[in-house]
């Protein structure tokens, strides 16, 4: 079996890497060097989705240097920027993208947005649609309550936590 993850530093540009670890053979393989317009310094985990791809966020870098949402296809070894943060719609994403029961992912930024206090956003990876109109503190969507507290995102349904949160 293999594990896919990322580092926040190191690699060819000292800005992090996406890597594969084969835990049966104890081998580490660097798959992609982050840096510059590809995004840099991720500080969360990769999220696996039903399309067989991994999604993550890089804290800085991208076209505006405010971070990115990216996709990594480990079958084809391709890294694709899916969204460039621009400040108005959030900047400096932190933590993980959390996949909810409605099939969409949720995440947050530390800065940007209308009051420059960060945003809680929804990302539809199937249709590549980013939506930061999620209220800052909490909201209900398809029976799922999303709450933002101290750079963590919690997803609840019937008092059951669906995803872990970033500490």
pLDDT tens by residue, 47-103: 999 999 999 999 999 999 999 999 999 999 999 999 999 999 999 999 899 898 889
Residues comprising the chain, all counted:
167
Who contacts 86 (Cβ-Cβ below 8 Å, separation ≥6)? 63, 64, 66, 112
In this prediction, residue 115 carries a pLDDT of: 84
- Rounded average pLDDT over 24-31: 94
Output 13 or 151, whichever has higher pLDDT. Answer: 13
pTM of the predicted model as reported, rounded to 2 decimal places: 0.83
Q: Which residue has the higher pLDDT, 105 or 142?
A: 105
Q: pLDDT-based confidence at 166, cuts 50/70/90?
A: very low
Q: Are strands 160-161 and 2-6 parallel, antiparallel or unpaired?
A: unpaired
Pairing of strands 120-124, 129-134: antiparallel
Contact 104, 115 (CB under 8 A): no
Overall average pLDDT of the 124-139 stretch: 79
User: What average pLDDT does the structure give for the chain?
Assistant: 84
Share of the chain above pLDDT 70, in %: 80
Residue 67, pLDDT score: 98
Residue 161 pLDDT class (50, 70, 90 cuts): very low
Is 42 or 102 the better-scoring residue by pLDDT? 42
User: Which residue in this structure is represented by tokens 């008092």?
Assistant: 159
The confidence score (pLDDT) of residue 53 equals: 97
């Amino acid at each position: 079996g293999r594990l896919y993850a990322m580092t926040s530093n190191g690699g060819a540009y000292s800005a992090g890497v996406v890597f594969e670890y084969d835990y049966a053979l104890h081998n580490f393989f660097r798959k992609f060097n982050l840096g510059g317009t590809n995004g840099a310094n991720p500080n969360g985990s990769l999220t696996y989705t039903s399309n067989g791809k991994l999604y993550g966020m890089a804290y800085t870098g991208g076209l505006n240097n405010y971070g990115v949402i990216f996709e990594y296809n480990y079958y084809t070894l391709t890294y694709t920027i899916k969204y460039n943060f621009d400040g108005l719609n959030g900047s400096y994403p932190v933590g993980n993208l959390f996949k909810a029961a409605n099939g969409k992912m949720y995440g947050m930024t530390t800065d940007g947005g209308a009051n420059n206090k960060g945003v809680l956003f929804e990302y539809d990876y199937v249709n590549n649609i980013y939506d930061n109109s999620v209220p800052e503190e909490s909201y209900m969507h398809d029976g799922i309550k999303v709450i933002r507290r101290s750079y963590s995102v919690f997803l609840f349904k019937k008092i059951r936590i669906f995803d872990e949160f970033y500490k």
